[in-house]
C-alpha cells in the first residue's frame, strides 16, 4: 500500500472521529465546544488554522489544500460551522459559511471526486438552510 493511500485513509479515519465529536457537541448544545472542535480539527487534519483557510476564495483554498479529500474535509467543517452559526442565531455568518461550504463541494467535484451519500445529504441540508420561505 502506498504512503499516499495510507495518509488519505488515516486522514479520513481521524476526520470521521472528529466529526462525530463535533456533531455530538452540537446535539448536546455545547456550542462553544463544537466551535473549538471545528478549529482543532482543521489544524490537526489539514495542518492550518481554520480562520486562515477561510481567508481566500474557495478555489484558491482548494488549490492550497491540493487534494480533493482535503478540500472535502474542509467543506464539511465549514458546513458544520454554518449550521452551528445558524443554531446560535448568527444568520450572517451562517449564510456566509454555507455558501463557502457549497463552493468547496463544487471544487471537490471539479477536482474529480464524486460526492458520496454523506456529501449529498450535507449539500441538500445546506441548500435547505439557504432556502427562503415563501412569504404568502
**Does position 1 have pLDDT exceeding 70, yes or no?**
no
Q: Considering Cα of 39, then 94, then 26, then 61, what sign does the dihedral take?
A: negative
Percent of the chain with pLDDT over 70: 95
Rounded mean pLDDT, 120-133: 88
**Does position 19 have pLDDT exceeding 70, yes or no?**
yes
Residue 10 or 95, more confident: 95
**Does position 127 have pLDDT exceeding 90, yes or no?**
yes
Cα→Cα distances 49→5, 36, 62, 73, 113, Å: 24, 12, 15, 14, 24
Cβ within 8 Å of residue 51, ≥6 positions away: 39
Nearest to 102 by CA among 88, 82, 85: 82
pLDDT score at 13: 84
Predicted TM-score of the model (pTM): 0.88
Report the Cα 123 to chain-centroid distance in Å: 10
Written as one string, the DSSP assignment of 7-75 is HHHHHHHHHHHHHHHHHHHHHTT-HHHHHHHHHHHIIIIISS-HHHHTSS-HHHHHHHH-SHHHHHHHH
Is 46 within 8 Å of 70 (Cβ atoms)? yes
Domain boundaries, the chain: 3-131
pLDDT in tens, 87-101: 999 999 999 999 999
Amino acid at each position: 500500500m502506498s504512503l499516499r493511500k495510507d495518509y488519505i485513509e488515516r486522514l479520513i479515519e481521524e476526520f470521521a472521529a472528529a466529526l462525530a465529536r463535533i456533531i455530538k457537541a452540537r446535539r448536546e448544545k455545547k456550542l462553544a465546544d463544537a466551535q473549538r472542535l471545528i478549529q482543532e480539527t482543521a489544524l490537526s487534519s489539514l495542518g492550518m488554522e481554520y480562520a486562515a483557510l477561510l481567508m481566500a476564495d474557495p478555489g484558491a483554498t482548494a488549490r492550497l489544500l491540493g487534494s480533493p479529500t482535503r478540500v472535502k474535509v474542509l467543506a464539511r467543517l465549514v458546513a458544520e460551522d454554518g449550521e452551528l452559526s445558524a443554531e446560535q442565531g448568527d444568520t450572517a455568518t451562517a449564510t456566509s459559511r454555507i455558501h463557502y461550504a457549497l463552493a468547496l463541494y463544487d471544487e471537490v467535484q471539479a477536482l474529480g471526486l464524486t460526492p458520496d451519500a454523506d456529501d449529498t445529504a450535507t449539500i441538500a441540508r445546506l441548500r435547505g438552510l439557504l432556502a427562503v420561505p415563501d412569504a404568502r
